[in-house]
Amino acid sequence: MIFHMTVRSYPMMRKTHLAARRAWRRLRPRLNSCFVGASSGPGHEDRSEDPSAVSAEKPPHMPVMLKEVLQYLDIQPAQVVLDMTFGGGGHTKAILSTVPEVTVLALDRDPTAISLAQQLAKEHFGRVKPMLGRFSELEDLLSNMNVKPGSIDAVLLDAGCSSMQMDEAERGFSLSKDGPLDMRMDGDRYPDMPCAADVVNTLDQQALASILTAYGEERHARKIASAIVEARRVSPITRTQQLASVVAGSFPPAVLYARKDRLNRPAHVATKTFQALRIFVNDELNELHAGLRAAQTLLKPSGRLCVITFHSLEDRLVKRFLRGDDLSNLDHFSQRKQGTKKENLSHEKSDGSVYWLPLRRKVITPEKDDVKENPRGRSSKLRAALRR
């Protein structure tokens, strides 16, 4: 297994992963014999060989805050733009259609997304350059294409999980659709990379609770972790709705949908558990940090950056990065740091990052009409900045 790809961390994340790493090192030797099936999940081998098959079933997802992204990126003709999360290609298609002679470097870690980018590249010869890889691999990928630091005019970073991934049950991201408990954004690129089933069936209760607390900000992490450990003693947890049922079973029936989303709609009690596992399996916060640092290196002076996030952990990281905080000294990034009055006052008086000038002081959120049209974007936040 190459689980170190998931738990490897920058200094800011070390304490967050400590309990999980220790438990994983103790139990990892059992995986080859005990959880071979769990790594791919039941039905995983039946996935279509054509990575673009999902696009034939339904149209790509709607791009989030498209109008705002185009406004703040302010792309000019013949510029070079880096779309760091191509996804369904909505933002890239809009850029190509509105700006003449622009070149888009399209990155995504998901082979399904890259297959769509390759199709788009055929339609716009020479204007779209697909790249399969993670944020942490970006600088090497661009170096191989002879793209030098400080040569890119605009960068869009759309964090989180794409609608295509959520819509395909076999990917294991959605608790409302039964499928193998996978959640790997890289698909089958790394066959030995552990999936969510490996995590819930292998880590001990303390490590599971740590993950749920850190990445799901789940108040009932211990209760849920205990329920998972009890359930897997009877049978391995390998399906999404199986896990959702286990989490739901640890709560009274009356509170199953007691939580509300931003549209005040009932939200399943397992939502934060699924978020936490997905972030942990894909090392999302460390990858986001790597992506922000890459954008800082790659952008020209006066180049523009737009970052879209979907939950508080991501937005908090982006906010602090653009503010110029030293993230390497944060012990437990996911917890809110109140700080002393003196520290808070110093931040208020600070001129901000030496690298970034905010294009808008407050975070940008979707308009009401946009949320009605695209409910999945209801929790999105956009931050835009100019590279000094």
Query: Of all residues in the chain, what percent carry a pLDDT higher than 70?
Result: 75
pLDDT of residue 21: 54
Tokens of 295: 């954008």
**Of 171, 190, 180, nearest to 132 (Cα)?**
190
Question: Using CA atoms, how far apart are residues 199 and 49, in angstroms rounded to an integer?
Answer: 26
pLDDT of residue 41: 35
Question: Using CA atoms, how far apart are residues 148 and 2, in angstroms rounded to an integer?
Answer: 30
8 Å CB contact between 90 and 374: no
pLDDT of residue 61: 58
8 Å CB contact between 112 and 187: yes
Q: Is residue 30 predicted with pLDDT exceeding 50?
A: no
Q: Is residue 301 predicted with pLDDT exceeding 60?
A: yes
Q: What is the mean pLDDT of the chain?
A: 82
- Select the more confidently predicted residue: 191 or 95: 95
Strands 299-309 and 381-387: antiparallel
Describe the crossing of helices 312-323 and 284-298 by its angle, rounded to 10 degrees.
30
Q: How confident is the model at residue 252 (pLDDT cuts 50, 70, 90)?
A: confident
**Of 259, 368, 377, nearest to 311 (Cα)?**
377
Listed in sequence order, the residues at least 6 apart from 329 whose beta carbon sits closer than 8 Å to its beta carbon are 11, 12
Question: Using CA atoms, how far apart are residues 285 and 302, in angstroms rounded to an integer?
Answer: 26
8 Å CB contact between 85 and 109: no
Q: Which of 14-28, 48-62, 294-308 has the lowest mean pLDDT?
A: 48-62
Q: How confident is the model at residue 22 (pLDDT cuts 50, 70, 90)?
A: low
- Select the more confidently predicted residue: 371 or 309: 309
Residues 281-293 have a mean pLDDT of: 95
DSSP code for 239: B
Positive/negative CA dihedral, 131, 134, 136, 137: negative
8 Å CB contact between 94 and 305: no
Q: How confident is the model at residue 2 (pLDDT cuts 50, 70, 90)?
A: very low
Longest Cα separation, the chain: 61
pLDDT of residue 7: 38
pLDDT of residue 50: 37
Residues 353-371 have a mean pLDDT of: 91
User: What are the CA-CA distances from residue 220 to residues 23, 223, 227, 271 (Å)?
Assistant: 21, 5, 11, 12
- Select the more confidently predicted residue: 345 or 95: 95
Query: Of all residues in the chain, what percent carry a pLDDT higher than 90?
Result: 62
In the block, residue with structure tokens 């978020």: 275
Residues 96-109 have a mean pLDDT of: 97
Tokens of 271: 């939502």
Question: Using CA atoms, how far apart are residues 216 and 195, in angstroms rounded to an integer?
Answer: 17
